Structure 1
Amino acid sequence: MKFDLITKDSQSKARAGTIQTDHGVIETPIFMPVGTVGTVKGVHQRELKNDINPDIILGNTYHLYLRPQTSILEQAGGLHKFMNWDRNILTDSGGYQVYSLSSNRKIKEEGVKFKSHIDGSYHVFSPENVMEIQRSIGADIIMAFDECTPYPCDYRYAQRSMHMTHRWLDRCISHLEKTPLKYGHHQSFFPIVQGSTYKDLRQQSAEYIANAGAEGNAIGGLSVGEPAEEMYAMTEVVTAILPKDKPRYLMGVGTPINILENIALGIDMFDCVMPTRNARNGMLFTAQGTINIKNKKWEADFSPIDEMGITFVDTDYTKAYLRHLFSVNERLAAQIATIHNLGFYMWLVREARRRIISGDFRAWKDQMVKQMDNRL
């Protein structure tokens, strides 16, 4: 993997760059649509490529391990071929899913024993077998196995967890070196900074992760319920330490406002289920603010879903029509809303990149944050 830093914003820490992998170029800053089980929910690959057009999407190690299972993925030739996706894929390590199964898992030094949410069967994730699973999935960027701590989190627990995440990182690196590639393309490995919302722990973790010398680095354990101001504070602490010549990935973030504010702090990569999950519930993101399309106020509004001319779906679809589809429980409603939201997220990061390169990112970001904070 090759990362080229093209330019930096003069009034913030925002940066524009490119990541080159065996599956193509990723222009940063970038948002990665979440394709948890080998699909971005409710979107055909054709629409994903032609309408939303991301350089990279995300797959989930925990879910793909359980279904369809790594044996099926290996027979298919990896996730790229299985889902007919010829661009980049990143897989998380399953650490966040293990965190979310708090009542159905037990964490020990060796790894995590957890109960499947599907059939109640027991499984173990360790740094070693998570590396093997991600080799079998075949993503272009793979993540270290870590523990994602909850918020709020006791200092001593956060400290113990962080040190264990570091020890797990060492085991991941050691095992990865012994585990061969399976599909002929390179896989880049990203370790993950932890430390909850404690500045000294985040500093320690960022230094440890930076010293690992990986091709890129990630920040985990944020966007788990903490106030946005704490998220930004921890991000700022970490980006001051992580290498400037390597991409930085803030995991699981977030709202459009969160994304712009963290771009301003030097983050290059994002993912979040929010645009797809909220779309299925009728919430649309726009440059003017958020819309609950189910509200009666849109019943006779025949204006386009997107009024800025940033067209992601057929312009013949009006707010009134989309509201109608939701009111009659038509599946097309969720599909249209999903394409719209993902298209908006992609427009947002690409416009941020354009503004960084042209030199007016800060003023544009401040104006966009004000606009997008509205409930329409």
Structure 2
Amino acid sequence: MGALTFALEGGAPGSVARAGRITTDHGEIATPIFMPVGTVGSVKAVSQQQLKEEVQAQIILGNTYHLYLRPGLEVLEKAGGLHRFNGWDRPILTDSGGYQVFSLSGTRKIQEEGVVFQSHIDGSRHLFSPEKVMDIQRTIGGDIAMAFDECPPYPCERNYAERSMHLTHRWLDRCWTHFHQTPDKYGYTQNLFPIVQGSVFPELRKASCEYVASKGAVGNAIGGLSVGEPEEEMYSICAACCDALPADRPRYLMGVGTPWNILECIDRGVDMFDCVLPTRNGRNAMLFTSRGVINIDNKKWELDFSPIDDGIGCAFSAYYSKAYLRHLVKAKEILGLTIASVHNLAFYLWLVGEARKHILAGDFAGWKREQVEVLKQRL
């Protein structure tokens, strides 16, 4: 049992894209990787067996804010942590709750001590301090825990972004101290990733990267993007952060994004991604496929008995037809939500797997340019 490690396995000519391997006590993760979001201890409408067998997920997320409120820490601790509670024996990353608190702008108050917020379930009031968030994540038991941060809104004034960044850094100091003064739970090593902030201001991002890098953490995250800024701005900030963060540690871009966003950010040096988009959009009839984007609700698919997508090596996506899935969606049959969600996740995992193959083969740059055009098509 030991701390997370990262080994670089190859780079891409004409790009800073790289392929690597993360090792945790719950197994290895081949990068670049996409992590399905399991908000309340489950990926919506998808079973753990489907995540393993159809999606081929290597790591999933648990959400600190939601798991803290329900089922609560007592249940998770008595279960022996989230791995034992939900039966997932591969790596888990837990977020800090910072983004959820950011989303609750009407019912939360940010102060030096932490954030006071009201539960969306029953209105009860709670305080998330850096120390408490570390304790919560210890109890949830993820292999990777995230430092508590403030995610500034977009757009925001530079002065606000700078104050917010410094608050995130002070909270990081407290997270770092407390995390390293508390023992691992459940018999395996937990690892802490700091988060870079600074909104869309390059000099703030550079300063935040330097501060985060000074901690010498086993991995680092880039937060505060994909919150409404234009794509090109996201790409330029992402590139600047990857350039400033240590090359020998995994870089995790939080909450991003569409398939083409992911390929563009791999091209800029990102190793790890998560986003609710594949499952949320799947539940709303949008499918991402190897040939482009499909709105399965449209009448044009009513008599299309071809597979949802037979180009990604997923038996699930090749088994069901577009016409059948459209019928389930129109009939509001729950199975339709599952099929769409499993397919979209399988597609995302296929996409990062293909990216990895092309990085190792040395032809990623050309492949990426072609793929981005294909994936953006509306079918």
User: Which bin holds the TM-score, normalised by the shorter protein?
Assistant: over 0.9
RMSD: 0.8
Aligned counterpart, 2:233: 230
Which residues of 2 match residues 127-146 of structure 1 at below 5 A?
127-146=130-149
- 1:28 pairs, out of 17, 31, 36, with 31
Query: What do residues 17-54 of structure 1 show as CA deviations (whole Å, max 9, x unaligned)?
Result: 00001000000000000001001111111111111111
Is 1:263 equivalent to 2:260 in the alignment? no
- 1:164 pairs, out of 158, 163, 167, with 167
Counterparts of 2:26 and 2:36, CA distance in 1: 17
Which residues of 2 match residues 219-298 of structure 1 at below 5 A?
219-298=222-301
Aligned counterpart, 2:333: 330
Counterparts of 2:328 and 2:374, CA distance in 1: 27
TM-score normalised by length of structure 1: 0.99
**CA pair 314-156 structure 1, distance change in 2 beyond 3 A:** closer
Aligned counterpart, 1:191: 194
The one-letter amino acid of 1:17's match is G
Counterparts of 2:197 and 2:217, CA distance in 1: 16
Does structure 1 conserve the Cα–Cα contact (< 8 Å) formed by 2:307 and 2:317? no
Q: Which segment drifts farther, 82-91 or 170-179?
A: 170-179
Count residues with an aligned counterpart.
376
Counterparts of 2:241 and 2:317, CA distance in 1: 41
Does structure 1 conserve the Cα–Cα contact (< 8 Å) formed by 2:310 and 2:318? no
Is 1:352 equivalent to 2:355 in the alignment? yes
Shift of 1:353: 0.3
- 2:342 pairs, out of 339, 343, 361, with 339
Shift of 1:315: 2.9
Counterparts of 1:220 and 1:314, CA distance in 2: 32
Does structure 2 conserve the Cα–Cα contact (< 8 Å) formed by 1:312 and 1:344? no
Shift of 1:223: 0.4
Structure 1 stretches of 5 or more lacking a match? none
- 1:7 pairs, out of 4, 10, 26, with 10
Which residues of 2 match residues 32-71 of structure 1 at below 5 A?
32-71=35-74
Aligned residue for 1:313, secondary structure, equals helix
Does structure 2 conserve the Cα–Cα contact (< 8 Å) formed by 1:312 and 1:343? no
Structure 2 stretches of 5 or more lacking a match? none
Counterparts of 1:328 and 1:187, CA distance in 2: 44
Counterparts of 1:340 and 1:220, CA distance in 2: 27
Shift of 1:97: 0.2
Does structure 1 conserve the Cα–Cα contact (< 8 Å) formed by 2:222 and 2:251? yes
Counterparts of 1:273 and 1:14, CA distance in 2: 23
Aligned residue for 2:37, secondary structure, equals coil
Counterparts of 1:186 and 1:91, CA distance in 2: 14
Aligned residue for 1:178, secondary structure, equals coil
Aligned counterpart, 1:100: 103
Does structure 2 conserve the Cα–Cα contact (< 8 Å) formed by 1:52 and 1:312? no
**CA pair 309-352 structure 1, distance change in 2 beyond 3 A:** closer
Counterparts of 1:85 and 1:131, CA distance in 2: 21
Does structure 1 conserve the Cα–Cα contact (< 8 Å) formed by 2:312 and 2:347? no
Query: What do residues 216-268 of structure 1 show as CA deviations (whole Å, max 9, x unaligned)?
Result: 00000000011100000101111111000000000000000000000000000
Counterparts of 1:276 and 1:57, CA distance in 2: 13
Shift of 1:317: 1.2
Q: Sequence identity of aligned pairs in percent?
A: 64
Shift of 1:338: 0.5
Is 1:369 equivalent to 2:362 in the alignment? no
